[in-house]
């Protein structure tokens, strides 16, 4: 009887695991350690995690600055190992504590999810940001309007409403999230044809034809910055910009298998709750 109970329990666990895998969502962050992720911090070689800037505690990925006497423009990004072109990503984040000494004023409760990133090993030693698109994450200051899910464009441009946009940042239509509350952001990426930022279930930003161009990135390798080249895929990274931030979920649904058939893709997006 005891043996039968163990067998049934194992079978039950297998079925549960199969259902979880069958959902199609990949957990990019496993909640235990930084497996699959590698940092690039300005002024340090790729994979050197200066001051333990990125760490995992109590099931969340933390960006913290305990070892910094001052920030000194040491902008950081932690990259996931694979690159993607068609996907839906979901991130849950919150800001905590105080900004580290020396952090720029604009970086107060400021972080980001970088998509369509250049390969991290191609970044210059002193390069501040990867050539990429930033889904900017902002926290409120307790009094002013400060939307999240914005767009910033380090070394890139995008097309909005049929026009090429060369400004650096664009505000979304999201509400402001004050305090240390958790916020859910989704990013729908369909190659170079459509990108949407979704905050708490609402589309707050949309654009297309992401491409390399413009400035707002320094100390890059000119051979990598091919202005005008459309960005169809790239790496994903999370930022350290001088304010402590936590990520408790980073998951991705790969839409590449559905990309060739618009009808199949539309059906899958509907199943995922994307209209």
Predicted confidence at residue 275, as pLDDT, reads 77
Segment 207-228, tens digit of pLDDT:
999 999 988 999 999 999 999 9
136 occurs within a structural domain: yes
Query: Tokens at residue 141, please?
Result: 């200051």
6 occurs within a structural domain: no
Count of domains for the chain: 1
Segment 248-262, tens digit of pLDDT:
999 999 999 999 999
d(CA 1, CA 203): 54
d(CA 260, CA 191): 11
* First-last CA distance in the chain: 50
**Where residue 220 sits, what CATH number does that domain have?**
2.60.120.560
4 occurs within a structural domain: no
11 occurs within a structural domain: no
Determine the Cα angle at 139 with ends 136 and 145, to 5°: 100
Q: What percent of the chain has pLDDT over 70?
A: 92
175 occurs within a structural domain: yes
The answer to whether residues 106 and 243 touch, using CB atoms and an 8 Å cutoff, is no
Q: How many CB atoms lie within 10 A of CB 82?
A: 12
**Residue 60: CB partners within 8 Å, gap ≥ 6?**
31, 246, 247, 248
Predicted confidence at residue 23, as pLDDT, reads 82
Tokens 């959902």 found at = 23
Segment 103-126, tens digit of pLDDT:
999 999 999 999 999 999 999 999
Find the domain containing 148 and state its range.
26-271
37 occurs within a structural domain: yes
Class of residue 33 by CB neighbours under 10 A (exposed 0-12, middle 13-18, buried 19+) = exposed
d(CA 145, CA 180): 16
Predicted confidence at residue 83, as pLDDT, reads 97
260 occurs within a structural domain: yes
3 occurs within a structural domain: no
């Amino acid at each position: 009887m005891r043996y039968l109970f163990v067998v049934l329990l194992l079978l039950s666990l297998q079925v549960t695991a199969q259902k979880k895998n069958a959902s199609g969502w990949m957990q990019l962050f496993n909640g235990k350690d930084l497996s699959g992720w590698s940092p690039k911090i300005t002024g340090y070689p790729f994979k050197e995690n200066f001051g333990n800037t990125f760490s995992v505690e109590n099931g969340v990925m933390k960006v913290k600055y305990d070892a910094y006497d001052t920030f000194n423009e040491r902008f950081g990004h932690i990259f996931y190992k694979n690159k993607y072109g068609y996907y839906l990503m979901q991130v849950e984040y919150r800001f905590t504590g105080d900004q580290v000494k020396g952090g720029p004023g604009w970086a107060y409760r400021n972080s980001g999810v970088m998509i369509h990133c250049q390969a991290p090993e191609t970044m210059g030693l002193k390069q501040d940001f990867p050539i990429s698109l930033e889904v900017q994450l902002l926290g409120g200051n307790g009094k002013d309007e400060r939307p999240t899910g914005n767009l910033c464009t380090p070394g890139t441009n995008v097309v909005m409403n049929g026009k090429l946009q060369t400004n650096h940042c664009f505000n979304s239509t999201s509400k402001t999230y004050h305090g240390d509350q958790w916020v859910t952001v989704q990013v729908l990426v369909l190659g170079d044809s459509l990108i949407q930022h979704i905050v708490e279930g609402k589309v707050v930003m949309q654009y297309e034809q992401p491409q390399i161009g413009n400035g707002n990135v320094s100390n890059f390798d000119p051979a990598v910055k091919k202005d005008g080249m459309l960005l169809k895929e790239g790496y994903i990274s999370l930022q350290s910009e001088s304010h402590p931030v936590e990520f408790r979920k980073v998951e991705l649904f790969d839409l590449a298998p559905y990309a060739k058939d618009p009808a199949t893709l539309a059906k899958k997006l509907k199943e995922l709750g994307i209209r």
